[in-house]
Structure 1
Amino acid sequence: MKRAALYARTSTELQKDEQTVKVQLAEIETAIKNDGNTLLESCKYVDEGWSGAILERPALDLMRQDAREKKFDILYVYDRGRLARKFVYQEIVIEELTNLEIEFKSLHDINGETPEEHLMGSVMGIFHEYERMKITERFRIGKLNKVRSGKLLGYQAPYGYDYIPIKGKGTDKVNGKFVINEEEAKVVKMIFEWIGIECISIKEVIRRLYDMGIPPKKEKRDTWTNGPLHRMLKNETYVGKHFYYKSESCITKNPMAKTQKKYQHRHSMKGSRKTRPRDEWIEVEVPRIISDELYQKAQAQIKSNGKHSQRCKKNPYLFGGLISCPCGANRTGEGQNGHFYYRCTDRLLKFPKPKTCDEGGVNVQVLDTVGWAKLCELMTQPKLLQQQLERYAEEKKLIYGQSPKKDELRLQLKALEQEERRYVKGWGKGNMSEAVYTDQMNSVARRRKEVQDMLDRPEEDKLAQLREIDLETSVEPFKQYLANLGYEDKLFTVRKIVDKIIATKEQVRICGKIPAYATSLTVNKVGLDAEHSDTRDTTTQNNQEQVGLNAKHWYTYLVTQQHFELKLTMPPTDRGGRGYSDEYVANAIKELQSYTQIHTQSE
């Protein structure tokens, strides 16, 4: 008598609801009893509503873990297709069990003991994978044929409609259809009129719906959010044109990490969706709720709202995306009439409910101007500047001879010309302010000059010029260079050295790190048809692995980091009801005090 375990699986929620797993369990339990084995209650492993194309399933993972702990001696399944639909996955699990000396038995497949039986069992496994592909294709073709004939497939109806499922059979069969839900349809019309006629924002729509006590369709929460409202306003179903085949499933690009909740949304490998070309969409006529004219007005207003959104990136925010509030929420830049602030997003996250954070906004012009000035002071400290020059020289020595070739530099010039044309086009269409346009064009011009200088300069002169750099004469030009950087270059520098900023109206703390010097260089050459490999001690500053023909190069520097913390005490604010004047901002910048702390840490 052996200790037996069983594994069963259903592929869809429909099969789960129809309790088809009970059929599998009943037949397996009968087979275990007839074989004279004992089924342990703790060794019943069932995955309901899980695709056989994915190997990571909760019950299957538990079974494999218990197998390693030798909790059973034989595993029963209804057929190999229940274990997995992919042949390679079947073989992985069966081989694991074989290596653990655990017997595997499929009730509807050949259980191999001889080489011939093993071969036939494998062939049956391949047929299970083939069967899955045929089932998928039959379902797809069947659905398409139904939709093309004007039949509506059953699924969750949009807000404003109810779905009436298929009724009857044969000649008495009535296809499923959408019918208007009168109460919800009134809300739909009201929302479209608010946007298309009153020209209000989505945020104001959310506020009005909350004040009127109108919850979303699923009622998981009592407030609407931007996503469902945007989808509603873009949905052509409300003008009588319901589209099927708009999207298709695809493999998730960024699957959920392996945590205790890893199984929650991963019943299938293809957990994401992507939009198909519009000419592939299939239209099904449904009852109309709003007119075409109202729909078009709403689309125009949505476009206008987006163009004038406060979150639009037309205004430069040097520390945007890095700055947060002590409450834990991020701060975003917003404002009007030339007065901009980094404001806590707690009120947006809680909206339309009351906010929980009372921290005020931080003036963008004051913080950006002084924050950049203090970062420049930090970067031009003589000791730190000396370390940067030494690091730069050391890197150039290590990779001398590997600088960009002339062809690569010419390609860079061509790319910069294309970038310049895009900025001109964007400014011409009104997609950016004149100040941002000027900064970006200056940045492109500076980079073009640098690339052109590299093209014009002989290679052998580079290190010679580097060795002639004098620190004392370099500090002031470097300060001037930093002061004259355009917005895009300042933004690039900030992203490189600043990790986070925590700010209130009174105190600002800027944390980050600056690379100090390279201690070694790693060159990796990787390709096909390996020729040789050479590994040397890292103290020689030449740790190399050379593998393959026409290899590409990657350089990795072991760099010591200078971690810094910059504390700024902001001056008292007094807007007088009209916002900061230019004079006030200038005085505030002069009065602002700072304290800088630097410590070194190797990484």
Structure 2
Amino acid sequence: MTSAAVYARVSSAGQKKDRTIGSQTAALRAHAARLHCDLPEEWIFEDEGHSGATLVRPGLERLRDLVAQAAVDVVLCYAPDRLARKFAYQALLIEEFARVGTRVEFVKGPRGDSPEDQLLIQFQGMFAEYEKAQLMERYRRGKAYRARAGSVNVLGGAPFGYRYRRKTPECGATYEIVESEAAIVAELFRRYTDDGASIAGLTRWLTATGTPTRTGKRRWDRSVVWGMLRNPAYAGTAVFGKTKIVHESAGLNRRARLEGRTTPRAVKAVEQPRQEWIAIPVPAIISRVTFERAAQRLEDNKKFAARNSKVPSLLQGLAACAVCGYGYYRTSTRTTNKKIYYYRCLGSDDYRYEGGRICANKPVRADYLDAVVWDHITGLLADPSLIRAEIDQRLEHARTSDPATREQGRLRLALAGADTAITRMIEAYQEQLITIDELRSRMPGLRARQANLRSQLDALQTQLADREAYLKLADDLEGFLAQLHHNAVTADVEEQQRVLRLLVKDVLIGPEKITIRHRIPLREPGPATRHRDPHTDTESDTAGDRGPSYLLRWGRDW
């Protein structure tokens, strides 16, 4: 039976909310049933709220991975513009699928393989791309024209201190000052410019007054206050076009990556050059002079902030909390005769979270922790045989149980099946079971599948041969690491950071232990360390009492 996979897509948030993708999937299921195709449930791929102008879509990525395994005979899609909105992307995907013997069939489109049908598919792809570009350009130019005409409705909502009045048949949209909120905004700028209040102090003041934010929250964040101080609308000039949307994946912080979260859409906003901003007059709450004074102080903060003159630390960007997943930042305290630095968990700060701290992990003395980690790394460099043993073990693992080796065996079986199918087709023609026209129509697909499988086998064999050559790169490993260990003794903090990032993935700080996760696993753990090697990254637990007894934390009961 012919195996089939299904792909459906909707792009707008409204379509995602209304679940209109369900109608596409239902039509594709019915079409697969009419063709008597075998459609496994896990081979139904959907992308909700993803633009067809990009190939970075979760469902499409999984479909391409499946087809690359040469396991699908046909991919069913509702229409060419559901596969992609750009003709070049449609052609790329169809050709990519055809190389492994998988054809693409559309419910609303040509269903044959004749040159005329292929030409019609290309025309539909070009029309879909043109329609998308035309709509986006009309939308952009229309909003830009209305912004230059002073229309507020291109801005959508209103910031704190204003109320957005929607347009009516009699007049356009406007900003209306909310007197109670406007008084708070004026006081906010006065405290920042005249009294020298900090952004953190302003945040605490706003939270203490119980004033809700624009979104209804009772707790104010410093980023919200910082954004208000930069908003020129309060001085009488709102701005349109400060950002634009680009088709790139938005970044995720460490906590989101550990939780396995993904971005809903592969787009992000980037700031536009200031000369491209369009000013729109709105009612002013503060004077232009007050806003410029606040802007000057914000600019001075960038130059004279303490963080710009801090001493670099060894574990900068590498330390994270093993309990909550948040990163560690460096802070300091001053005694009677010296300044002491600590690494502190972001989750242990009360002021950052509405319900108070979410992590009880204590701070760590920066100088003690840096010494422990650096001593551990220099000890690793002192014994290059550990690294050589790991390289040898990885190469042996690659030869026996590597996915490339398993893939090679699977491709050989698939190639044998393709050869058998070609032989049977020729025998069927010789026995007059099929006509010459049927042979000519079926043979090109089988030949293409056979040629593709052979090219994949050649590529894998080249890859495995490259791994053998990798041994030559490790011939002088002992000499290289010996020189690196010698230089590490006299290295400054910047050089130590470079070495550390080559060998250490991250340092997880927990209540009872410090975990150093290496990029190259250890093979001979000492009595005070242990390791595991789940995905070629060893987790090496360095106990606090290893070597000299360091007091890493406040208190001695850990």
TM category (shorter chain) comes to 0.5 to 0.7
What residue is the counterpart of 1:223 in the other structure? 219
1:274 corresponds to which of 270, 275, 288: 270
What residue is the counterpart of 1:248 in the other structure? 244
- The CA deviation at 1:292 is 2.1
Q: Contact conserved, 1:199 with 1:301, CA < 8 A, in 2?
A: no
Q: 1:569 to 1:177 in 2, by over 3 A?
A: same
What residue is the counterpart of 2:492 in the other structure? 486
Residues of 2 paired with 1:210 and 1:61: CA distance?
Answer: 45
Alignment length, in residue pairs?
A: 422
What residue is the counterpart of 2:438 in the other structure? none
- The CA deviation at 1:182 is 2.9
Q: How large is the RMSD of aligned CA atoms in angstroms? A: 5.7
Deviations 1:149-176 (A, max 9, x none): 22221523222222222222xxx4x222
Question: Aligned with 1:319: secondary structure?
Answer: coil
1:207 and 2:204 matched: yes
- The CA deviation at 1:286 is 1.1
- Equivalent position amino acid for 1:240 in 2: G
Residues of 1 paired with 2:19 and 2:328: CA distance?
Answer: 52
Q: Contact conserved, 2:161 with 2:178, CA < 8 A, in 1?
A: yes
What residue is the counterpart of 1:265 in the other structure? 264
Q: Contact conserved, 1:8 with 1:25, CA < 8 A, in 2?
A: no
What residue is the counterpart of 2:189 in the other structure? 192
Question: Aligned with 2:136: secondary structure?
Answer: helix
What residue is the counterpart of 2:280 in the other structure? 284
Residues of 2 paired with 1:44 and 1:511: CA distance?
Answer: 41
Q: What percent identity do the matched residue pairs reach?
A: 25
- Equivalent position amino acid for 1:354 in 2: G
Deviations 1:13-59 (A, max 9, x none): 46778x8969x979x99xx99xx999x9x999997755332457688
Q: 1:289 to 1:76 in 2, by over 3 A?
A: same
Q: Contact conserved, 1:311 with 1:333, CA < 8 A, in 2?
A: no
Question: Aligned with 1:274: secondary structure?
Answer: strand
Deviations 1:310-359 (A, max 9, x none): 64452232333344556445432222554123133333374454335555
Residues of 2 paired with 1:82 and 1:327: CA distance?
Answer: 43
Residues of 1 paired with 2:150 and 2:521: CA distance?
Answer: 68
Question: Aligned with 1:569: secondary structure?
Answer: coil
Q: Contact conserved, 1:515 with 1:562, CA < 8 A, in 2?
A: no
Decide which structure has greater strand share: 1
Mapping of residues 384-533 of structure 1, within 5 Å: 384=383, 484-498=490-504, 500-501=506-507, 509=514, 511=516
Residues of 2 paired with 1:10 and 1:565: CA distance?
Answer: 50
2:312 corresponds to which of 313, 316, 330: 316
Task: Give the TM-score taking structure 2 as reference length.
Answer: 0.57
Residues of 1 paired with 2:501 and 2:113: CA distance?
Answer: 63
Q: Contact conserved, 1:311 with 1:334, CA < 8 A, in 2?
A: no
What residue is the counterpart of 1:85 in the other structure? 85
What residue is the counterpart of 1:135 in the other structure? 135
Q: Contact conserved, 2:515 with 2:540, CA < 8 A, in 1?
A: no
Question: Aligned with 1:316: secondary structure?
Answer: coil
Q: 1:277 to 1:573 in 2, by over 3 A?
A: closer
Question: Aligned with 1:130: secondary structure?
Answer: helix
Q: 1:251 to 1:204 in 2, by over 3 A?
A: same
- The CA deviation at 1:290 is 1.6
Question: Aligned with 1:273: secondary structure?
Answer: strand
Task: Give the TM-score taking structure 1 as reference length.
Answer: 0.54
- Computing the radius of gyration over CA atoms, which structure comes out larger, 1 or 2? 1
What residue is the counterpart of 1:165 in the other structure? 166
Residues of 1 paired with 2:519 and 2:59: CA distance?
Answer: 49
Residues of 2 paired with 1:185 and 1:150: CA distance?
Answer: 22
What residue is the counterpart of 2:356 in the other structure? 354
What residue is the counterpart of 1:156 in the other structure? 157
Q: Contact conserved, 2:516 with 2:539, CA < 8 A, in 1?
A: no
What residue is the counterpart of 2:439 in the other structure? none
Residues of 2 paired with 1:74 and 1:510: CA distance?
Answer: 46
Q: 1:345 to 1:60 in 2, by over 3 A?
A: closer
What residue is the counterpart of 2:525 in the other structure? none
Q: Contact conserved, 1:150 with 1:285, CA < 8 A, in 2?
A: yes
Residues of 2 paired with 1:275 and 1:371: CA distance?
Answer: 42
- The CA deviation at 1:251 is 2.3
Q: 1:116 to 1:202 in 2, by over 3 A?
A: same
Residues of 1 paired with 2:120 and 2:133: CA distance?
Answer: 20
Q: Contact conserved, 2:150 with 2:280, CA < 8 A, in 1?
A: yes
- The CA deviation at 1:135 is 1.9
Residues of 2 paired with 1:12 and 1:196: CA distance?
Answer: 43
- The CA deviation at 1:137 is 1.6
Residues of 2 paired with 1:502 and 1:20: CA distance?
Answer: 42
- The CA deviation at 1:239 is 1.0
Q: Contact conserved, 1:310 with 1:335, CA < 8 A, in 2?
A: no
Q: Contact conserved, 1:74 with 1:105, CA < 8 A, in 2?
A: no
Deviations 1:90-135 (A, max 9, x none): 56777879977896442xx666575334423432332221222122
- Equivalent position amino acid for 2:177 in 1: I
Residues of 1 paired with 2:315 and 2:130: CA distance?
Answer: 55
Q: 1:276 to 1:511 in 2, by over 3 A?
A: closer
What residue is the counterpart of 2:549 in the other structure? 569
- Equivalent position amino acid for 1:131 in 2: E
Question: Aligned with 1:570: secondary structure?
Answer: coil
Question: Aligned with 2:349: secondary structure?
Answer: helix
Residues of 2 paired with 1:93 and 1:137: CA distance?
Answer: 26
Q: Which has the higher contact order (CA 8 A, sep 6+)?
A: 2
Q: 1:280 to 1:196 in 2, by over 3 A?
A: same
1:334 and 2:337 matched: no
- Equivalent position amino acid for 2:157 in 1: Q
Deviations 1:59-84 (A, max 9, x none): 8899999999x99x99795x643554
Q: 1:351 to 1:14 in 2, by over 3 A?
A: closer
Q: Contact conserved, 2:212 with 2:218, CA < 8 A, in 1?
A: yes
Q: Contact conserved, 2:364 with 2:552, CA < 8 A, in 1?
A: no
- Equivalent position amino acid for 2:220 in 1: W
- Equivalent position amino acid for 1:124 in 2: Q
Residues of 1 paired with 2:293 and 2:537: CA distance?
Answer: 58
- Equivalent position amino acid for 2:137 in 1: E
What residue is the counterpart of 2:178 in the other structure? 181
- The CA deviation at 1:285 is 0.9
What residue is the counterpart of 1:232 in the other structure? 228
Question: Aligned with 1:53: secondary structure?
Answer: coil
Deviations 1:386-433 (A, max 9, x none): 9999xxxxxxxxxxxxxxxxxxxxxxxxxxxxxxxxxxxxxxxxxxxx
- Equivalent position amino acid for 2:494 in 1: E
Residues of 1 paired with 2:263 and 2:506: CA distance?
Answer: 32
Q: Contact conserved, 2:207 with 2:218, CA < 8 A, in 1?
A: yes
Q: Contact conserved, 1:196 with 1:298, CA < 8 A, in 2?
A: yes
